[in-house]
Amino acid sequence: MGETVTTQAVIILLGPPGAGKGTQARMLEERFGLVQLSTGDLLRAAVAAGTPAGLAAKAVMEAGGLVSDEIVLEILEDRMSRPDIRAGVILDGFPRTAGQAQALDRLLSGRGLGVSAAISLEVDDEAMIDRVAGRYACADCGEGYHDTHKRPARAGACDKCGGTAFRRRADDNAETARERLRAYHAETAPLIAHYDKLGVLRTVDAMGSIAAIATALGTIVQRAAA
């Protein structure tokens, strides 16, 4: 906390599953007082709560497909209308289709706002499958782990909080990860050109360390939103 942004910043993180959008969004949230808005998290919450939107989304998500623009826009607009987003938002996993990007442009211009920066996290596809298929998290504190790259120091206990329960997303397996990557290339990667045209595209090499990527993103956000 501490650094502030003066305008209502709208930062978009673009990148395939496993690129580190969620990890980086949480770090930017703390550093700049922005609010992370993950449509994946919002949808998983809707599934867990058994709302009509959640019931419609569940099977699509488990198969690695994209939930309909209609449902996604409904939950996003609902979240964007809450007062806590005053300093601005980091959109993580949204927009994911051309229709969603257009809807976002309209929603923002209706509020006299625009996209501050759309940051594309550039990564290697095969590494993403491996990252996503092996990842899981502590059920208590959310600390992330990986079957081969980041195991807890003491087997079965979380390094951060000592918790012994872990959770794995239903869609984090190799087969579904491939389908999600396919959906990313077919539907979402074309948005890179859209934001380039708007003059707000930034790209970051996201194969490096979490800290190095955070530094690069911090500089971009500071310039785009100060």
135 tagged catalytic: yes
Question: Cβ contacts of residue 55 below 8 Å, gap of 6+?
Answer: 47
67 lines the binding site for ligand ADP (CB under 6 A) = yes
54 lines the binding site for ligand ADP (CB under 6 A) = no
Q: Which of 58, 79, 96, 131 binds ligand ADP (CB under 6 A)?
A: 96
Distance between CA 114 and CA 200 in Å, rounded?
A: 10
Which residue in the list 31, 168, 169, 182 is annotated as catalytic? Answer: 168
10 lines the binding site for Zn ion (CB under 5 A) = no
167 tagged catalytic: no
Which residue in the list 79, 96, 131, 202 is annotated as catalytic? Answer: 96
- Name the E strands within 148-200: 166-167
Binding letters toward ligand ADP, positions 143-172, x by CB under 6 A: ----------------------------x-
Which helix (DSSP H) or strand (DSSP E) does residue 102 occupy? helix 98-109
Closest to 204 in 3D by CA, of 115, 120, 109, 100:
120
* Cβ atoms 17, 184 nearer than 8 A: yes
Q: Work out whether the CA dihedral 127, 57, 96, 41 comes out positive or negative.
A: negative
Q: Of the listed pieces 3-11, 56-64, 137-145, 191-199, which binds ligand ADP according to CB under 6 A?
A: 56-64
Q: How far is CA 196 from CA 48, 110, 189, in A?
A: 36, 21, 12
3-state secondary structure of 20: coil
* Least distance between ligand ADP and beta carbon 109 (Å): 19
Which residue in the list 21, 58, 79, 202 is annotated as catalytic? Answer: 21
Site of interaction with ligand ADP (CB under 6 A): 17, 39-40, 43, 60-61, 64-67, 72, 93-94, 96, 100, 171, 180
Site of interaction with Zn ion (CB under 5 A): 138, 140-141, 143, 158, 160-161, 163
